[in-house]
Amino acid sequence: MADACYERERLETSDGDFVDLDWSRGEGSRSLVFIMHGLEGHSRRKYVLGMVKAARERGLDAVAMNFRGCSGEPNRKVSMYHSGWTRDLHEALLMIEALGRYNCVHLVGFSLGGNVILKYLGEDPSIIPEFVRSAVAISVPCDLEDSARALARPQCAFYTRYLLDQLRKKIIEKGRLFPGALDLKGVETLRTFRQFDDRFTAPLHGFRDALDYWRRSSSRQYLVGIDRRTCIINAANDPFLGPRCYPAEEVRANDRLTLLTPPTGGHVGFVGSGRGGMYWSEWMAMRFLLEPGASQVQK
């Protein structure tokens, strides 16, 4: 179930599946912040709720989209979601556009959700609804292969184990819901994202293998095409990110992009240093989205 601060709406997708949108709305706002969570997250994660609160305190409505299978109910298909799956974001934005309520939408994505937003903005800008004005992507593994290498390091073993445990539980549940569709033999022995993505993510979503999935889904290659004001916030000490996840060259080549690399913040951290009790990332995101010139502010 959604958090008490939310009103849930189900979007039926064009391929017969669904995603759940959790809304936090006031009276009469014409501006909306659209929020996407990270790998195996959901709309009730503390970092999502913090961004919702920051938006509402500034008079904006907020909606958090749960990726397929992340809202507390399994999705209908054996496939789920992945780092490059932009179709659900697009269909959600088209549904919101049809409401006729908002004339301005800002996108905010965390980690995997940030990669999805950046890829969406850059892969075919001509299809993006006009009311999408700007975006902030936080702790983004914009080079998925490089991020997988970073997560394979011994110092990231705790994070990798936790995330793979969540993915294993979900894929075992999929095997129960779709008997015979998945070969689960040895699933408990998978220890790296490459092993999991080779075995499940890639074949379930039409990729040859993990490398093909990572290379085709990484947002870094799409940054040149982005034509909306967009800020990427990746902490220099983020353990999930390798050096290619800091796309300085692409940002220099596109004046619509801003890259902030504060020295600390970890992965979706950024505790303190904001105003009014906010995380710095929440404060910075709101400043970038709402105040011209705010991208020059550093941590």
Residues with catalytic function: 111, 238, 267
**Run of H or E residues at 121:** helix 112-123
Residue 24 has phi, psi (to 5 degrees) of: -130, 110
Distance CA 10, CA 13 (A): 9
Measured from the Cβ of residue 221, the count of other Cβ atoms closer than 10 Å reads 17
Whole-angstrom distance, CA of residue 165 vs CA of residue 113? 20
How far CA 232 is from CA of 135, 182, 202, in Å, comes to: 9, 37, 26
Of 195, 140, 203, which Cα lies nearest the Cα of 167? 195
Contact indicator for 251, 142 with CB cutoff of 8 Å: no
Can you give the length of the chain in residues? Answer: 299
